[in-house]
Amino acid sequence: MSKSQTPARILYERPEAHIARIVLNRVETRNAQDALMLYELNDAFDRAAQDDEVKVIILAANGPHFSSGHDLRDIDQLETLQSFKTVGTWCGFGCAGAEGRMAFEKEAFLGFSERWRNIPKPTIAEVQGKAISGALLLIWPCDLIVAADDASFQDNTVLMGVSGVEFFNHPYELGVRKAKEMLFRSNWISAQEAHRLGMVNHVAPRDELSAFTLELARDIARKPMFALKLAKEAVNAAQDAQGRGSAMQTAFAYHQLCHTHNSKVFGMIVDPAFFAQTPSSLVSAKSELAKHDAKTNSAS
């Protein structure tokens, strides 16, 4: 398939007045997130945020699973960065060692997630199937989460030799003890368990997920826009006053330390033992990732 024939990674829909629906559409990779997909997603969020007719934004995904997380085979990040205007003020994306990796992740992972969290409009994540690691960076910034009854959530980064995903919201989503268990065990949390813990607002039958989410968005969209914006800002401010921002930056620094440690010890940014416990469809990422990191390290 030629580049011009490649399906759009992100779809932008207006299912009805005052509601925008943004859809992940990289179905063949189970919506694995490469840099291009993330920048296109950010553009879609900006489009909805800047449209005064839109009151509520839904984030959904095509295919059987919401997202398999970061695409570990994505080694063309610099090319993507040259195609899009960066949203932060960090530079040095092409630098060797920790500098380039941290710059990119501070922009496209932590940076985007923070931006989306602070969009001054209500956002709803509509989640089905598996949501793995990097998927949480898309789901957790949303104000509300509706999960299909078959949905499950996992952060398996500790299995990769990393201390947690870049948007470290685990304690705020699950509570401290459950957050530790999720990280220590790299286990799955079902939609039902996530609902019990307060991470998920509603669980709906899979075949009713989109309709349920749209009705929720419709109900919110009936409210005055200015009041919705300020209500969101007030709740976010309450969470930030508890030190969320500082905790997030500390966890992000630890995440980068893990990458540097793994690069030093294994020659790649994750522990290669992870791939022995990973489906064969992702094993090819090992050689690509190792090749890329070896090239970067040799330049330092």
Domains delineated in the chain: 3-298 (3.90.226.10)
For residue 167, the Cα-to-chain-centroid distance in whole angstroms is 8
Report the C-alpha gap between 141 and 280 in whole angstroms: 31
Predicted pLDDT of residue 82:
72
Q: What is the mean pLDDT of residues 260-283?
A: 81
The token pair that represents 2 in the structure block: 């030629």
Work out the burial of residue 269: count CB atoms within 10 Å of its CB; fewer than 13 is exposed, 13-18 middle, 19 or more buried: buried
Q: What is the mean pLDDT of residues 91-99?
A: 87
Report the C-alpha gap between 99 and 104 in whole angstroms: 9
pLDDT tens for each residue of 188-205: 999 999 999 999 999 999
| Percent of the chain's residues with pLDDT above 90 | 79
Q: Among candidates 202, 226, 225, which has minimal Cα distance to 149?
A: 202
- pLDDT, mean over the chain: 90
The pLDDT confidence band at residue 297, using thresholds 50, 70 and 90, is very low
Predicted pLDDT of residue 155:
97
pLDDT tens for each residue of 156-171: 999 999 999 999 999 9
Residues with Cβ < 8 Å from 70, sequence gap 6 or more? 32, 33, 109, 133, 134
Predicted pLDDT of residue 6:
67
Model confidence, pTM: 0.89
